Amino acid sequence: MTPHNEAKEGDYADIVLLPGDPLRAKWIAENFFEHPKLVNSVRNCLGYTGTWQGIPVSVQATGMGQPSTAIYVHELLNVYKAKTLVRVGTSGGLTTDVKVRDIVLGLSASTDSAINNDTFAPYTYAPFANFELVKAADAFATSQMLECHIGGLVSSDTFYLDDPAKSYETLARHGVLAVEMEAATIYTLAHRFGARALAICTVSDCLITGEEIDPSERESSLDTMVEMALTAATQ
């Protein structure tokens, strides 16, 4: 048990999917897991464990942003000994090549968060994904003929910026494909605890064109990401 999680040691599987939204965690458990069992409901930040194709798997909501995510992920790694973390989330596309409904596999996650500053000073750490997971997710995308981009994410601390397109322009010119709010701390903590991590993000909106998908499409995009995440994590 922890201050944020009532699960007992052993309640989580080695593989944990990480959506931001608790109701997405519930939806994933109810629609993909065999024998889903609720293991955490503290603050309604729901966590479930079950099996997928007979393999033990869990899902834990992280909430939005790196401070919230870092709490759940640190505890999953430090207390519950998780070994493979796959974020399934949405992102905002930063170039016109990255279209809404496409998937982005985050090779790296730049950030404006100060969360890592003291830890790595005088260096600027570059949080990065696990290569095996990237390869397995990419193979899944190829087999399903999905529009999938592999490149940088930026994990931003701010959703409502005054001029988002302008804020991310320089990053976009340096290989950053999409903005979300959690991957950088997931990657950092996974490396700290010797675990594997990958962020898989559907592009829900484009910061250049203003195009966005509606809530029902967010659900069907989640379906594809969950299949990709479970397939890659269980290779």
What is the rounded CA–CA span in Å between residue 107 and residue 25? 24
102 alpha-carbon distance from chain centroid? 15
- Residue 91 is a binding residue for ligand HPA (CB under 6 A): yes
What is the rounded CA–CA span in Å between residue 95 and residue 92? 9
Beta strand pairing status for 15-18 and 84-93?
parallel
- Residue 185 is a binding residue for ligand HPA (CB under 6 A): no
- Residue 167 is a binding residue for ligand HPA (CB under 6 A): no
- Residue 98 is a binding residue for ligand HPA (CB under 6 A): no
Instruction: Look at residues 20, 42, 45, 39 and name the one whose alpha carbon lies nearest to residue 186.
Output: 20
Tokens representing 57 are: 């798997």
> Which 191-220 positions form the footprint of ligand HPA (CB under 6 A)?
204-205, 207
- Residue 94 is a binding residue for ligand HPA (CB under 6 A): no
CA max distance for the chain: 48
Please pick, from the candidates 69, 90, 95, 221, the single residue that binds ligand HPA as defined by CB under 6 A.
Answer: 90
User: Considering only 6-14, 78-86, 132-140, 174-182, which stretch makes contact with ligand HPA by CB under 6 A?
Assistant: 174-182
Are 165 and 207 in contact, with CB atoms under 8 Å apart?
yes
Question: Which one of the listed residues 138, 205, 214, 223 is annotated catalytic?
Answer: 205
Specify whether 205 is catalytic: yes
Size of the site for ligand HPA (CB under 6 A): 11
Q: Name the residues that contact ligand HPA, by CB under 6 A.
A: 90-92, 156, 159, 179-181, 204-205, 207
The residues that are catalytic are 205
